[in-house]
Structure 1
């Protein structure tokens, strides 16, 4: 029994990944290519256990309409798309043609490209143009940290009752306790905003760099 989550050694992390929907060849190749081609940015890619968790959640909820803010080279979008219900659609927002060109290749390879719509441009503008009704089942936020409050404000009113918003990097490597830069301060303030939002039920999990799960009431 433990009163808090375990700290993971490299060996324990490898064991965890191997015993919970371990990455297949496509996921392994995508992760390896990202590290090889974009070594300085590869830390923006979600962890393998996060990818498995996103697929699990998407399947569990029977998601048909999903949004992703921040696509990078496509591991999280690949994971979400794989979990969509028949006829499901994922709309991705990103500002980089370079990064998402990698994502497009892996969506094609995985056979999910027909489920994904990529919109290049500022996510705040793209989200604002989405239908106003409460139709979204699932949303994943993993983009510029100072933009989180705007993305949240655009997404919550568009989520159906019971819909789920998942937010990445909410612990900032532990620095939310003592923020050291603008991104840390932005996330610390955002976490307080989400906690106070009466429209959602929230749990924060120590998965990778921290995940917030917010169920819209």
Structure 2
């Protein structure tokens, strides 16, 4: 039997309150979890950060994070990998997991899973019958994460698709999955980010949430540039003008946009 859902207006009202609190925190403190980043990355993002030893930020994390032991172990292992610091931060993942609980999510989509940290965080927030479709091209990082999915008792909820994400999204749409997902997370290559966003708008139900990470791209969205930064900037402009969603862009991590489908 399907779980009852809030009306759209109720979901949006409560969701906006949750996101508003996160936004206020981010504005006041800058990027969360900066003390886990290598110094070179910290220097690139200095405009968004408190000092590394900022006691108030350390206090906030110590009083707000409830990271499952398997999640914590997976995060630490991921950060040891090449490009490991590109993963979603723990406070971002926890916020998305709490939003998934808030809207009583049953199905989630994780585009760009890497080691599956975000996928596991979402799986832990879903009911026993829930499912996370995880999209990743490279099998190696997911093999690192799989043992932690098992350790957390959530492996059965994670449906890993090892192929280009667009192929998986098109297969889902062709299979009749439009409007059946509650949450979608986009944390993959920026060259295709606008296409991922449009596919997710079809796959996510009304009242569902699309989250896009790294929407500040180390501040390069402010510069006249090409490549990934230009793709990110174009997507930010597209979402700002998109009447199909309500939005919040939070200064958490390297920027996190939440789009609530109307």
Q: TM-score, normalised to structure 1's length? A: 0.92
Q: Secondary structure at the match of 1:76?
A: helix
Structure having the larger proportion of residues in helix = 2
Contact 1:5 1:206 in 2 (8 A): no
Q: Deviations over 1:125-160 (max 9, x none)?
A: 110111253111110000001111111111102211
Contact 2:181 2:208 in 1 (8 A): yes
The aligned counterpart of 1:62 is 104
Alignment of 1:144-155 (within 5 A): 144-155=189-200
Q: TM-score, normalised to structure 2's length? A: 0.77
Distance 2:248 2:79 in 1: 31
Structure 1: gaps spanning 5 or more residues: none
Matched, 1:195 2:195: no
Alignment of 1:32-111 (within 5 A): 32-36=76-80, 38=81, 40-111=82-153
Q: CA RMSD in A?
A: 1.8
Alignment of 1:165-204 (within 5 A): 165-204=210-249
Question: Of the two structures, which has the highest relative contact order with CA contacts closer than 8 Å and spacing of 6 or more?
Answer: 2
Max radius of gyration: which structure?
Answer: 2
Poorly superposed stretches of 4+, deviation over 6 Å: none
Q: Secondary structure at the match of 1:213?
A: strand
Structure 2: gaps spanning 5 or more residues: 1-23, 31-49
Alignment of 1:109-148 (within 5 A): 109-130=151-172, 131-148=176-193
Distance 1:159 1:43 in 2: 28
Q: Alignment length, in residue pairs?
A: 214
Q: Deviations over 1:39-70 (max 9, x none)?
A: x3111221121122122111111110111101
Residue of structure 1 aligned with 2:60, choices 16, 33, 45: 16
